[in-house]
């Protein structure tokens, strides 16, 4: 069963829009029309992104009871003739442009239509066609041409002396609908001017034979004996699993506002970040306590560790260069999510400013998560056990060959977890028969997957029990005083205050079990300690990006696991606002440059999680999900176990004697 939203994620009973609600389709159209009819309009002006200009964070950390908050659209635009980005704010109720400014020296992220136009233009280029004929390909309609962002080749890509370019890569199907990534065209690199939609150059580094084995995964092709791996039928021993909630879900939805058990939060969405979470509070025995004002993905990057011509410059920023919201899937009941589902539709824009609805872009449901707590009194045989449950809010995005699932979990013991699920199809390269790739692993005959990594940075605007917060780095170390450790078994925890932004870039340490604690020194629990939450790393991977590479400066945020900054509403993205074809370090290195004090103030955490991918045959033709993420857990925030009041579960499950 599903409960679906009706109009772009807004229930029909919601007559008043909350200041943090995403723009509606009507508001997007209004903002675009106002700009198109203004003195700033030109025939070559295109809308890159139209999204809510979020109002300033109120001292109360909520807009409940706050009146006269303007509904403004933030529009990023690009004039292809002037080669200039513009930023505008539009009051969609007053129907006026409230600000307009040029952003010189930067390139925009992709326009939506470029994703398909690039393929059409490259396919018609005679130089590309000749390179394909050399490889025995004459039916060009079977070519898949992925419009990879330019990366950065060197000073020739700089804004002052370069067009806005992308560098598409080519793959070939043998039949319509096949998995074309099974036949990468190695050594063929196209440079295309996105402003004029013309091919500037075609590099051909030599013919490598196309791999011969298919790598299909759909029912139409999967049982082909030439497929790799080859299967003859679906498994016959998979019995149905049904997840039912006869009394309906435990959550309630009012527009974009969600309440579930003791949690209250607001869901948001925009073209760049996709899913956002706002105003997260927890009802502690009648007292509503703030925890997180805003949380979202702030940037991601995929650097490749392969020196070959086709792969060395792959380091795409899938959010900042493409747009995670633009890439969001329409989710499918029973496949992407199971159970009693509530879907939020999302609305983005095309380059003309028209609204584009993505149905079922955000999925929300509940999941049983095993045991929350249990104890058996062996003297009395008395058993007490409670089950864990979590509220799941998620989106899944397709960027070229990869799928990224972004999942926010809210548990009934007041834990918050963020998880990224990576799946889809690996980027592939071809090798000559008998060759062993140096910078990757063979996954099928004549084909390999390059070594690469994925890094995701999440911006967490923390307000634990209010706006005055401090961050401590917590290390577990052996007792440092020998006279206090005669048995060589004692250890203590050492708290180190992150006092200012100069010390705000922090690294995880395995040997000390390091985590970070966000406390409110103005709120003391009954045991005399400040209330807090701790950020707990899960999977931490080594950063293979090396100083001296172009990507080192472009993605400086990956060089530290955690950055702590003082809240600034203009600082939203870990690698800066516009990183396309830009080699300079932007974003977090700039944000910490003023060395703002961080003690007992409004702080923001920027946490980076990674996935280290040395591919293997089991990753082909579609990669099983790889998981990474982190947790926020209460530490002294409550006076005891906040899940103590969970009711016992009825013995209603089937069993076999």
One domain, residues 285 and 397: yes
| Domain assignment of residue 409, yes or no | yes
Among residues 402, 411, 472, 515, the one annotated as catalytic is 402
pLDDT category of residue 243 using cuts at 50, 70 and 90: confident
What integer pLDDT is reported at residue 457 of this predicted model?
A: 98
Percent of all residues in the chain with a pLDDT value above 70, rounded to a whole number: 97
- State how far the Cα of 591 lies from the Cα of 564, in Å rounded to an integer: 10
| Bridge partners, residue 474, by sequence | 495, 515
One domain, residues 209 and 307: no
One domain, residues 283 and 309: yes
| Domain assignment of residue 649, yes or no | no
| Domain assignment of residue 291, yes or no | yes
One domain, residues 230 and 290: no
- State how far the Cα of 424 lies from the Cα of 444, in Å rounded to an integer: 16
Q: Tokens in use for 129?
A: 């066609």
One domain, residues 117 and 99: no
Question: Can you tell me which residue has the tokens 């579960």?
Answer: 649
| Domain assignment of residue 425, yes or no | yes
> What's the rounded mean pLDDT across residues 476-483?
97
Domain boundary residue, one of 68, 88, 103: 103
One domain, residues 96 and 137: no
Active site residue 409: no
Position with higher pLDDT, 5 vs 424: 424
* Minimum mean pLDDT range among 257-266, 451-460, 530-539, 642-651: 642-651
What integer pLDDT is reported at residue 657 of this predicted model?
A: 46
Tell me the whole-structure pTM to 2 decimals.
0.96
What integer pLDDT is reported at residue 403 of this predicted model?
A: 97
| Domain assignment of residue 6, yes or no | no
Q: Is the pLDDT of residue 62 over 70?
A: yes
In the chain, the number of structural domains is: 3
Domain boundary residue, one of 80, 103, 126: 103
One domain, residues 255 and 121: no
| Domain assignment of residue 332, yes or no | yes
| Domain assignment of residue 650, yes or no | no
pLDDT category of residue 6 using cuts at 50, 70 and 90: very low
- 324 backbone dihedrals φ, ψ, rounded to 5°: -70, -35
- Return the DSSP state at 318: I
One domain, residues 178 and 161: yes
Domain boundary residue, one of 103, 125, 157: 103
Q: Where are the beta strands (DSSP E) in 80-181?
A: 84-91, 96-103, 143-146, 165-166, 169-172
Residue 629: give the domain boundaries.
Answer: 251-466+536-634
> What's the rounded mean pLDDT across residues 146-153?
90
pLDDT category of residue 339 using cuts at 50, 70 and 90: confident
Strand order in the sheet with 355-377: 2-4, 341-349, 355-377, 382-399, 402-411, 416-424, 623-634, 530-537, 515-524, 470-478, 491-497
Active site residue 472: no
One domain, residues 177 and 325: no
Mean pLDDT of all residues belonging to the chain: 94
Among residues 14, 318, 345, 461, the one annotated as catalytic is 318
- State how far the Cα of 7 lies from the Cα of 192, in Å rounded to an integer: 38
The residue among 208, 337, 331 whose CA lies nearest residue 274 is: 331
| Domain assignment of residue 14, yes or no | no
Q: Is the pLDDT of residue 3 over 60?
A: no
One domain, residues 216 and 269: no
One domain, residues 615 and 554: yes
Count the alpha carbons within 13 Å of 404 in the hemisphere toward its beta carbon: 30
Q: What is the CATH number of the domain that holds 186?
A: 3.10.450.40
Q: Is the pLDDT of residue 655 over 70?
A: no
CB 633 within 8 A of CB 537: no
One domain, residues 43 and 131: no
What integer pLDDT is reported at residue 15 of this predicted model?
A: 52
Tell me how crowded residue 320 is: count the other CB atoms within 10 A of its CB.
27
pLDDT category of residue 14 using cuts at 50, 70 and 90: very low
Q: Is the pLDDT of residue 1 over 80?
A: no
């Amino acid at each position: 069963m599903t409960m679906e939203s009706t109009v772009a994620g807004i229930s029909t009973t919601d007559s008043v829009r909350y200041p943090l609600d995403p723009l509606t389709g009507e508001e997007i159209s209004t903002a675009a029309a106002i700009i198109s009819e203004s003195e700033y309009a030109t025939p070559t002006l295109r809308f890159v992104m139209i999204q809510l200009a979020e109002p300033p964070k109120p001292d109360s950390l909520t807009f409940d009871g706050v009146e006269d908050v303007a509904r403004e659209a933030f529009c990023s635009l690009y004039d292809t003739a002037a080669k200039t980005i513009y930023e505008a704010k539009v009051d969609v109720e007053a129907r006026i442009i409230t600000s307009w400014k040029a952003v010189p020296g930067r390139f925009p992220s992709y326009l939506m239509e470029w994703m398909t136009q690039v393929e059409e233009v490259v396919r018609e280029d005679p130089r590309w066609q000749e390179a394909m004929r050399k490889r025995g390909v004459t039916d060009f309609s079977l070519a898949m041409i992925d419009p990879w962002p330019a990366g950065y080749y060197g000073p020739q890509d700089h804004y002052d002396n370069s067009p806005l370019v992308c560098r598409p890569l080519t793959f070939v199907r043998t039949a319509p609908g096949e998995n074309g990534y099974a036949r990468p065209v190695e050594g063929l690199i196209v440079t295309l001017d996105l402003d004029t939609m013309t091919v500037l150059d075609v590099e051909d580094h030599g013919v490598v034979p196309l791999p011969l084995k298919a790598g299909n995964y759909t029912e139409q092709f999967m049982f082909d004996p030439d497929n790799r791996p080859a299967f003859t039928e679906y498994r016959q021993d998979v019995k149905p699993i049904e997840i039912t909630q006869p009394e309906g879900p435990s959550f309630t939805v009012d527009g974009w506002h969600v309440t579930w058990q003791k949690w209250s939060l607001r869901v948001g969405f925009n073209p760049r970040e996709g899913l956002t979470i706002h105003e997260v509070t927890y009802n502690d025995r009648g007292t509503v306590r703030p925890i997180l004002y805003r949380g979202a993905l702030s940037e991601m990057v995929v650097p490749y560790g392969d020196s070959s011509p086709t792969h060395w410059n792959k380091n795409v920023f899938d959010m900042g260069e493409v747009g995670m919201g633009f890439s969001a899937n329409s989710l499918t009941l029973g496949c992407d999510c199971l159970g009693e589902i509530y879907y939020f539709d999302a609305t983005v824009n095309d380059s003309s400013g028209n609204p584009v609805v993505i149905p079922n872009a955000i999925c929300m449901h509940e999941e049983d998560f095993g045991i929350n707590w249990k104890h058996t009194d062996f003297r009395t045989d008395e058993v007490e056990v409670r089950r864990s449950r979590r509220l799941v809010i998620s989106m899944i995005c397709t960027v070229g060959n990869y799928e990224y699932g972004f999942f926010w979990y809210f548990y009934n013991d007041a834990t918050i977890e963020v998880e990224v699920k990576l799946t889809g199809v690996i980027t592939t390269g071809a090798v000559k028969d008998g060759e062993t790739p140096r910078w990757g692993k063979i996954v099928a005959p004549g084909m390999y997957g390059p070594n690469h990594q994925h890094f995701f940075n999440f911006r967490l605007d923390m307000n634990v029990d209010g706006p005055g917060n401090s961050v401590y780095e917590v290390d577990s170390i052996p007792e440092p005083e020998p006279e206090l450790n005669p048995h060589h078994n004692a250890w203590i925890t050492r708290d180190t205050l992150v006092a200012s932004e100069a010390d705000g870039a922090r690294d995880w340490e395995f040997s000390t079990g390091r985590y970070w604690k966000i406390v409110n020194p103005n709120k003391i629990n009954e045991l005399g300690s400040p209330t807090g939450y701790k950020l707990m790393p899960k999977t931490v991977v080594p950063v293979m990006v090396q100083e001296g590479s172009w990507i080192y400066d472009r993605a400086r945020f990956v060089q530290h696991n955690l950055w702590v900054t003082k809240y600034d509403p203009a600082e939203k993205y870990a690698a800066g606002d516009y990183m396309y074809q830009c080699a300079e370090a932007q974003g977090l290195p700039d944000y910490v440059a003023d060395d703002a004090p961080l003690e007992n103030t409004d702080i923001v955490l920027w946490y980076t999680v990674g996935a280290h991918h040395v591919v293997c045959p089991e990753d082909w033709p579609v990669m099983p999900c790889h998981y990474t993420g982190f947790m926020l857990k209460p530490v002294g925030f409550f006076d005891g176990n906040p899940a103590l009041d969970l009711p016992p579960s009825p013995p209603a499950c089937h069993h076999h004697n």
